[in-house]
C-alpha cells in the first residue's frame, strides 16, 4: 500500500542515522529507537489493513494523517542531515541534542495519533504492545484484489477483435513436431488480453465450443485449420492461478479436468483439514496419469516463480509433444519456467483494431454476425476517444461500455472527451485497479521508482540514463553491498521492464537506452502519486492540445513534494507552501519557454511558477533572489530559455542538491555557487554557452556524472567518485600524475589540434590503461588518432561502446585490435581507403554500426557472407558509394537500417530485397527523389517494415 511504502521508506532512512557519535549523546539514541519501533508497528498495521476498510471516510482521513506524519518525519531527518553537513565538528553535539528534542516531540505526536478511538487505531495499539493479530486480514486483502483477475476458459458472447495473427503464432508453437515438453509464456502488461488469447487457443484445441469470434472470415489460417487439431492433445485443463493460490485445489482442479480418478483419496472435500501428504499424493498420481498422455495445460495469471516450482513436478516431460501455456505479466517468470522457449509478448492493438473493438462495445449489434456501425457525425470524436486507450483492449472495452450508456450525440461525446478521467467512473476505476495489481506487487523502493515515471509526458521517450540518475539523486535506490547504486538502479529498471510496466524503445538486454510508458500506466502512476502527495504533474493538455478553458480552476493549496511542469499554460495551481519541495522537473516543448523576464511578452510558465515557488523578486539579471528550497535534491531545467542567458540562484540555498540539469539552455554563465553543492552527484551543462565553472566544482567528491559542453578545459584529478565524464576539452589531467577516478565508466573528450602531440597521445593512452572499469569511450579529434589507442582499448574487457571521430593513423586495424566484447562502433571521418566490411564483419558481438564520412573515396562496399552475425542496427551516412552488395548469409539479424546522403548509390532495390526478411525499420534521409518510387513499391510488398523518408528539413513522410 502507498502509506505502508512511505513508512517503510522512512524506516530505511532511519536505519542509517544511528551513528557512533549520536550514541554518546544522552537520550538521542533512545528516542530514535523509540521512533523506529513506533514506525515498525505502524508499518505492520498498514500492511495488514483490509482494502475495504481503507474506503471508509474515517479511515481515509486517518490515512491522510499517517502520510502527513511520515512526511514530517522525513523533513526532520533530512533537516538534521543538512544541519550536520553545515555545522562545524565542535557544534555537532548541539545539533544532535536539537535533533533528539525534535524526535521526542514527534514521538509524542505519533502516540497522540494512535490514541484515537476508532477500532483501527485500537488494533494498532494492540500491535504496538506485541499483541498483533494473524495475517488473515492481509490474505483477505490479497484475495479481494486478485479476485479481479479470476478467469475461466469460457468466452461467453463477447466479440473478439485483433487476435488472428497471435492465435496463429501460438497454435504453430503448440502443434510443432518437437517432442520435448514446452512452456509457452504469453506476456504483457495488464489488460492486453493475455487471458483472452489463451482462451481462444484453448477452445480451438479442446472440445469446448468456439464462441464470440469475430464473424465473416476464418479466425485462423495454416496449422490451426488442420482437421485433426482438436484431437492433437489427449487431455486438456485450464486453471486460474492468481497470487497466493491454494495449491491443493489447483492441482485437484487439473486432475478433475483431465479425468484422473484413479484414487478417491486425492479428491478432498471442501473444508477437510490440510494433511502434509495430500499435496504430494496429488502430484505423484497426477504425474503418473499424465506421463503416457500428450496434454495441454493452461496456467493463467502466474505471479511468482515459486508457484511454478510447486506445480511443475505434476507435469512430466515424456517427450511426446505436451505443452503448457502460461500467462503472466513478467517475462522473467516465463523464461524461468522454460528458458529454451522465448515468451510471446503481446502487443497493443492497431488504430483500426482499436476502433473495431470500441465499436462492438459502444454500438453492440443485435446479431453477433453483424458489424457495429458508428454514425458519421460521431466518428471523429470516437477516434479521439480511442486514442486515450493507447490500444489497450481492457481500456477500450471499459470506454466502449461507458459510451454505450450515454446519448449518442456529438455534444455529449465532446463533453466526455474533455472531461474523461479514468478515476471518475466505477468501470474506469476497475480498469485502473486491474492495472494496479502489478504496482501493488512491487517492493516499496520500486513503488517510488515506478511513481517517478509519472513525471514524464504521456507516451514520451524516456532516457534511461537520465531516469536512473534522477532516481539516485532522490535517494530512491537501496544500497546493496558490493554493488554500486547505478547497477542497482539498472536492476530496478530491468524488473519494471520484465513486469511489462515499461516498454523498451531503444537498446537491448542490460543496455537499455530509452523506454516508454503506456498512457494508462502513466495515469495509474499519477493517480497513486497524487494520492500520497509524492508528485504532482502540472499538465493542462488534452491529446497534445493545451486546454483553452475561459474559466481557470480556482487555486488550491497543495503541499507538493515533487513538481513536474508540462507545456505553457495560464491555468496553474497555487504553488505556495512548497518550501519542502524535493524535485522540480520541467519538460517544455521546443520554444515554449522563450520569454523569461521579457517585459513585453507575457511571462513564461517558469516565471509564473518561480515567482510563487521561490518567493522571487525580478531583477535585471533575472536573479532568483530568495528561495525556500532547502530540501531540493533535483533541478531538471532542460531546454529552459531565458531572455539574456542568465539565471542566478542565491548563495547558500542548494546544500541538498544532487542533480542539476540545464541541458540545451541559453545560459552563458553557471547559475549556482560552487560552495553550495557539497552533495552534487550529476551536473549536465551540455548545449549551453557556459565557458567557466567554479573551481570548487572540480573538488566535489560526491560528483559521479559530469556532462560538459566541449568548451571547458577541465581538471578532474580530485573527483574520486566520477563515473561519467562527457564533453570535456583535453586539459592538464593527462600529466604524469594521471587521473585518480578509477571508477570511470564513460569517457568522452574533445581534442584541439594545438594541444596534442605524440607525447600527449602517449600519456593519454597510458592513462586509459588504468581505467579498468571503462565501458564507453568517445574521442572527437581534429588530429590523427594513433593506432596506440586501439592497442590499449583492446585490453579492456568491459569496453563495449567505441566512438571515434577523426582520421585513423594507419587505417582500420586488425580484428584483434578491437575490444573483445564490443557491441557498438561509430566511425566518423576515419578516412579509410579500403572496404572496412571484411574486417568489421568478423566482430562477432557487434550489434550497432555507424559509418559517417568514414570512407570518402570508396565507391564499393561488400558485406561478406556470414558476416555481422549479431548486427541489428546499421547506419550509413555521407558516403560516395555506388555499389552496396550483400553476400548470402550476411546481416542475418539486421532490424534497423538508416541511410543518409548517399546519393551516388545505385541498385537500391537489390539492397532492400536482401534485407526484407528481417528488417523492421527503414529510415532514408536526404537521398535522391527517385528513391520515393522504389520505396513505395517495396513498402507495399513489405508492410511489416516501418519506413520514414526525409528529403529536406521541411519534408517528412511516413509510409
For residue 539, what pLDDT is reported? 66
Q: Which residue has the cell 550476411?
A: 890
Between 877 and 281, residue with greater pLDDT: 877
**pLDDT band for position 138 (cuts 50, 70, 90):** very low
Q: Among residues of the chain, what percentage have pLDDT more than 70?
A: 70
pLDDT digits (tens, 9 = 90+) for 731-758: 555 444 545 677 889 999 888 766 566 7
For residue 267, what pLDDT is reported? 47
Mean pLDDT over all residues of the chain?
Answer: 75
For residue 28, what pLDDT is reported? 67
For residue 553, what pLDDT is reported? 41
How many CA atoms does the CB half-sphere of 411 hold within 13 Å? Answer: 0
pLDDT digits (tens, 9 = 90+) for 566-613: 854 434 444 455 577 889 888 865 333 333 333 333 334 444 444 444
| Backbone region of residue 120 per phi and psi (left: phi > 0; alpha: psi in -120 to 50; beta: other values) | alpha
DSSP class per residue in 19-79: -HHHHTSTTHHHHHHHHHHHHHHHHHHHHHS-TTGGGSHHHHHHHHHHHHHHHHHHHHHHH
Contact 840, 868 (CB under 8 A): yes
- Report the pLDDT averaged over residues 217-245: 67
Give the integer Cα–Cα distance in Å for 562 and 90.
35
How many CA atoms does the CB half-sphere of 124 hold within 13 Å? Answer: 27
Q: 809: helix, coil or strand?
A: coil
Give the integer Cα–Cα distance in Å for 727 and 707.
6
Record the cell numbers describing residue 877, joined without a space.
Answer: 551516412
| Distant-in-sequence, close-in-space partners of 693: CB < 8 Å, separation ≥ 6 | 670, 674, 685, 712, 714
For residue 716, what pLDDT is reported? 65
Q: Which residue has the cell 450515454?
A: 406
If we measure between CA atoms, which residue out of 684, 687, 733 comes closest to residue 704?
684
Residue 442 predicted with pLDDT over 80 = yes
Q: 655: helix, coil or strand?
A: coil
Extended strands (E) in 73-216:
182-187
For residue 366, what pLDDT is reported? 67
Between 716 and 107, residue with greater pLDDT: 107
Give the integer Cα–Cα distance in Å for 872 and 684.
30
Task: Describe the crossing of helices 2-14 and 444-452 by its angle, rounded to 10 degrees.
Answer: 110
DSSP class per residue in 295-354: EEEEEEEE--HHHHHHHGGGS---SS--EEEEEES-HHHHHHH-TTS--EEPPPPPHHHH
- Of 125-129, 277-281, 631-635, 728-732, give the range with the top mean pLDDT: 631-635
- Report the pLDDT averaged over residues 415-423: 72
DSSP state of 226: -
Residue 203 predicted with pLDDT over 50 = yes
CA dihedral 742, 744, 750, 752 (to 10 degrees): 0
Residue 27 predicted with pLDDT over 70 = no
Give the integer Cα–Cα distance in Å for 179 and 340.
13
Contact 900, 925 (CB under 8 A): yes
For residue 827, what pLDDT is reported? 95
For residue 550, what pLDDT is reported? 36
Residue 427 predicted with pLDDT over 70 = no
Among 156-170, 207-221, 582-596, which is the least confidently predicted range? 207-221
pLDDT digits (tens, 9 = 90+) for 461-490: 899 999 999 999 988 888 887 788 999 999
How many CA atoms does the CB half-sphere of 646 hold within 13 Å? Answer: 12
Between 350 and 43, residue with greater pLDDT: 350
For residue 697, what pLDDT is reported? 85
pLDDT digits (tens, 9 = 90+) for 255-273: 888 888 654 444 444 344 4
Give the integer Cα–Cα distance in Å for 593 and 642.
8
- Please give the backbone phi and psi of residue 476, each rounded to the nearest 5 degrees, phi first: -95, 0
For residue 549, what pLDDT is reported? 36
DSSP class per residue in 749-770: EEE-TTT--HHHHHHHHHHHHT
For residue 726, what pLDDT is reported? 92
Record the cell numbers describing residue 165, joined without a space.
Answer: 495473427
| Distant-in-sequence, close-in-space partners of 436: CB < 8 Å, separation ≥ 6 | 524, 528
For residue 547, what pLDDT is reported? 38
DSSP class per residue in 256-289: HHHT--S-GGGSPPTTPPP-HHHHHHHHHHHHHH
- Report the pLDDT averaged over residues 77-96: 69
**pLDDT band for position 644 (cuts 50, 70, 90):** low
DSSP state of 623: B
Task: Describe the crossing of helices 28-48 and 92-114 by its angle, rounded to 10 degrees.
Answer: 40
Give whole-number Cα distances, 96 to 77, 100, 103, in Å: 11, 6, 10
Record the cell numbers describing residue 445, joined without a space.
Answer: 523502493
Beta-strand relationship, 545-546 and 946-952: unpaired
Among 152-161, 442-451, 578-587, which is the least confidently predicted range? 152-161
Among 170-174, 412-416, 864-868, 930-934, which is the least confidently predicted range? 930-934
- Report the pLDDT averaged over residues 305-322: 89
H or E segment and range at residue 583: strand 583-587
Q: How far apart are the first and last CA of the chain?
A: 46
Give the integer Cα–Cα distance in Å for 871 and 891.
6
pLDDT digits (tens, 9 = 90+) for 850-906: 999 998 889 899 999 989 999 999 999 999 888 888 888 899 999 899 989 888 887
Contact 821, 797 (CB under 8 A): yes
All structural domains of the chain, each given as residue ranges with its CATH number in brackets, are 2-133 (no CATH), 146-345 (3.40.50.300), 351-426 (no CATH), 442-517 (1.10.10)
If we measure between CA atoms, which residue out of 242, 256, 234, 156 comes closest to residue 199?
156
How many CA atoms does the CB half-sphere of 614 hold within 13 Å? Answer: 24
Among 547-551, 629-633, 734-738, which is the least confidently predicted range? 547-551
For residue 838, what pLDDT is reported? 93
Residue 417 predicted with pLDDT over 90 = no
Contact 229, 175 (CB under 8 A): yes
Between 386 and 939, residue with greater pLDDT: 386
If we measure between CA atoms, which residue out of 80, 129, 82, 76 comes closest to residue 105?
76
Give the integer Cα–Cα distance in Å for 705 and 485.
13
**How many beta carbons lie within 10 A of that of residue 228, not counting itself?**
7
Beta-strand relationship, 511-516 and 503-508: antiparallel
For residue 598, what pLDDT is reported? 32
**pLDDT band for position 14 (cuts 50, 70, 90):** low
| Distant-in-sequence, close-in-space partners of 801: CB < 8 Å, separation ≥ 6 | 775, 776, 777, 822, 823, 824, 825
**SS in 3 state form for 529-571?**
HHHCCCCEEECCEECCEECCCCCCCCCCCCCCCEEEEECCCCC
If we measure between CA atoms, which residue out of 103, 120, 119 comes closest to residue 37?
103
Task: Describe the crossing of helices 464-473 and 485-498 by its angle, rounded to 10 degrees.
Answer: 120
Count of all residues that appear for the chain in the document:
959
- Report the pLDDT averaged over residues 229-254: 84
**How many beta carbons lie within 10 A of that of residue 522, not counting itself?**
21
- Report the pLDDT averaged over residues 412-418: 80
Amino acid at each position: 500500500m502507498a502509506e505502508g511504502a512511505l513508512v517503510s521508506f522512512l524506516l530505511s532512512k532511519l536505519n542509517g542515522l544511528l551513528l557512533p557519535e549520536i550514541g554518546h549523546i544522552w537520550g538521542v539514541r533512545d528516542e530514535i529507537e523509540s521512533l523506529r519501533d513506533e514506525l515498525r508497528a505502524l508499518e505492520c498495521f498498514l500492511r495488514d489493513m483490509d482494502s475495504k476498510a481503507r474506503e471508509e471516510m474515517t479511515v481515509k482521513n486517518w490515512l491522510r494523517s499517517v502520510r502527513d506524519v511520515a512526511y514530517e518525519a522525513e523533513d526532520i531527518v533530512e533537516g538534521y542531515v543538512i544541519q550536520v553537513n553545515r555545522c562545524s565538528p565542535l557544534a555537532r553535539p548541539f545539533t544532535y541534542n536539537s535533533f533528539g528534542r525534535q524526535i521526542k516531540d514527534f514521538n509524542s505526536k505519533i502516540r497522540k495519533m494512535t490514541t484515537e478511538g476508532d477500532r483501527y487505531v485500537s488494533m494498532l495499539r494492540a500491535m504496538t504492545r506485541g499483541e498483533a493479530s494473524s495475517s488473515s486480514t492481509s490474505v483477505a486483502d490479497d484475495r479481494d484484489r486478485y479476485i479481479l483477475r479470476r478467469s475461466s476458459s469460457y468466452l461467453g458472447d463477447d466479440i473478439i477483435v485483433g487476435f488472428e495473427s497471435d492465435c496463429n503464432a501460438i497454435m504453430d508453437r503448440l502443434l510443432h513436431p518437437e517432442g520435448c515438453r514446452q512452456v509457452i509464456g504469453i506476456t504483457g502488461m495488464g489488460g492486453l488480453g493475455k487471458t483472452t488469447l489463451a482462451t481462444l487457443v484453448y477452445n480451438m484445441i479442446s472440445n469446448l465450443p468456439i464462441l464470440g469470434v469475430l464473424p465473416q472470415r476464418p479466425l485462423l489460417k495454416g496449422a490451426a485449420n488442420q482437421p485433426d487439431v482438436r484431437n492433437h492433445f489427449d487431455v486438456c485443463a485450464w486453471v486460474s492461478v492468481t497470487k497466493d493460490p491454494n495449491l491443493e485445489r489447483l492441482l485437484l482442479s487439473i486432475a478433475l479436468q483431465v479425468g484422473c480418478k484413479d484414487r478417491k483419496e486425492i479428491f478432498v472435500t471442501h473444508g477437510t483439514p490440510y494433511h502434509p501428504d495430500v499435496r504430494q499424493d496429488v502430484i505423484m498420481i497426477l504425474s503418473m496419469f499424465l506421463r503416457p498422455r500428450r496434454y495441454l495445460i493452461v496456467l493463467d495469471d502466474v505471479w511468482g516463480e515459486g508457484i511454478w516450482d510447486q506445480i511443475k513436478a505434476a507435469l512430466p516431460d515424456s517427450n511426446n509433444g505436451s505443452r503448457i501455456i502460461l500467462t503472466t505479466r513478467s517475462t522473467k517468470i516465463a523464461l524461468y519456467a522454460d528458458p529454451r522457449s522465448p515468451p510471446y509478448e503481446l502487443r497493443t492493438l492497431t488504430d483500426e483494431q482499436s476502433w473495431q473493438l470500441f465499436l462492438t462495445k459502444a454500438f453492440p449489434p443485435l446479431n453477433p454476425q453483424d458489424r457495429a456501425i458508428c454514425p458519421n457525425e460521431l466518428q471523429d470524436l470516437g477516434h479521439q476517444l480511442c486514442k486515450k486507450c493507447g490500444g489497450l483492449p481492457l481500456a477500450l472495452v471499459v470506454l466502449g461500455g461507458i459510451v454505450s450508456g450515454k446519448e449518442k450525440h456529438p455534444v455529449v461525446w465532446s463533453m466526455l472527451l474533455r472531461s474523461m478521467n479514468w478515476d471518475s467512473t466505477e468501470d474506469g476505476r476497475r480498469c485502473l485497479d486491474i492495472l494496479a495489481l502489478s504496482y501493488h506487487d512491487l517492493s516499496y523502493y520500486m513503488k517510488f521508482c515506478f511513481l517517478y515515471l509519472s513525471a514524464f509526458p504521456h507516451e514520451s521517450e524516456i532516457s534511461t540514463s537520465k531516469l536512473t540518475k534522477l532516481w539516485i539523486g532522490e535517494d530512491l535506490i537501496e544500497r546493496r553491498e558490493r554493488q554500486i547504486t547505478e547497477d542497482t538502479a539498472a536492476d530496478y529498471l530491468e524488473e519494471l521492464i520484465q513486469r511489462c510496466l515499461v516498454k523498451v524503445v531503444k537498446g537491448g538486454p542490460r543496455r537499455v537506452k530509452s523506454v516508454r510508458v503506456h498512457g494508462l500506466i502513466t495515469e495509474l502512476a499519477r493517480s497513486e502519486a497524487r494520492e500520497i502527495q509524492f508528485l504532482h504533474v502540472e499538465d493542462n493538455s488534452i491529446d497534445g492540445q493545451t486546454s483553452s478553458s475561459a474559466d481557470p480552476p480556482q487555486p488550491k493549496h497543495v503541499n507538493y513534494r515533487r513538481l513536474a511542469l508540462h507545456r505553457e499554460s495560464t491555468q496553474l495551481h497555487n504553488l505556495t507552501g512548497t518550501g519542502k519541495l524535493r524535485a522540480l522537473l520541467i519538460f517544455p516543448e521546443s520554444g515554449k519557454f522563450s520569454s523569461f523576464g521579457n517585459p513585453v511578452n507575457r511571462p513564461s510558465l517558469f516565471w509564473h511558477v518561480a515567482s510563487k515557488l521561490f518567493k522571487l523578486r525580478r531583477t535585471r539579471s533575472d536573479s532568483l533572489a530568495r528561495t525556500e528550497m532547502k530540501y531540493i535534491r533535483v533541478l531538471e531545467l532542460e531546454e529552459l530559455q531565458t531572455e539574456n542567458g542568465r539565471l542566478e540562484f542565491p548563495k547558500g540555498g542548494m546544500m541538498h542538491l544532487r542533480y542539476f540539469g540545464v541541458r540545451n539552455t541559453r545560459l552563458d554563465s553557471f547559475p549556482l555557487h560552487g560552495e553550495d553543492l557539497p552533495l552534487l552527484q550529476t551536473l549536465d551543462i551540455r548545449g549551453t554557452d557556459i565557458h567557466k565553472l567554479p573551481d570548487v566544482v572540480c573538488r566535489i567528491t560526491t560528483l559521479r556524472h559530469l556532462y560538459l559542453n566541449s568548451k571547458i578545459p577541465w581538471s578532474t584529478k580530485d573527483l574520486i567518485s566520477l563515473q561519467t565524464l562527457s564533453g570535456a576539452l583535453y586539459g592538464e589531467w593527462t600529466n604524469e600524475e594521471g587521473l585518480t577516478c578509477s571508477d570511470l565508466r564513460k569517457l568522452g573528450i574533445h581534442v584541439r589540434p594545438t594541444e596534442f602531440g605524440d607525447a600527449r597521445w602517449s600519456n593519454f593512452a597510458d592513462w586509459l590503461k588504468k581505467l579498468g572499469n571503462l565501458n564507453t569511450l568517445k574521442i572527437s579529434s581534429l588530429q590523427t588518432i594513433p593506432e596506440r589507442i586501439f592497442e590499449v582499448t583492446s585490453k579492456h574487457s568491459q569496453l563495449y561502446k567505441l566512438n571515434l571521430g577523426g582520421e585513423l593513423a594507419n587505417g582500420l586495424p586488425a580484428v584483434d585490435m578491437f575490444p573483445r566484447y564490443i557491441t557498438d562502433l561509430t566511425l566518423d571521418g576515419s578516412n579509410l581507403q579500403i572496404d572496412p566490411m571484411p574486417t568489421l564483419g568478423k566482430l562477432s558481438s557487434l550489434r550497432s554500426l555507424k559509418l559517417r564520412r568514414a570512407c570518402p573515396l570508396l565507391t564499393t562496399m561488400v558485406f561478406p557472407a556470414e558476416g555481422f552475425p549479431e548486427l541489428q542496427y546499421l547506419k550509413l551516412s555521407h558516403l560516395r558509394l555506388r555499389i552496396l552488395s550483400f553476400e548470402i548469409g550476411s546481416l542475418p539479424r539486421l532490424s534497423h537500417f538508416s541511410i543518409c546522403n548517399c546519393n551516388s548509390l545505385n541498385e537500391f532495390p537489390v539492397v532492400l530485397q536482401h534485407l526484407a526478411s528481417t528488417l523492421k525499420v527503414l529510415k532514408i534521409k536526404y537521398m535522391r527523389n527517385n528513391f520515393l518510387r522504389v520505396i513505395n513499391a517495396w513498402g507495399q510488398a513489405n508492410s511489416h517494415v516501418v519506413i520514414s523518408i526525409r528529403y529536406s528539413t521541411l519534408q517528412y513522410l511516413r509510409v
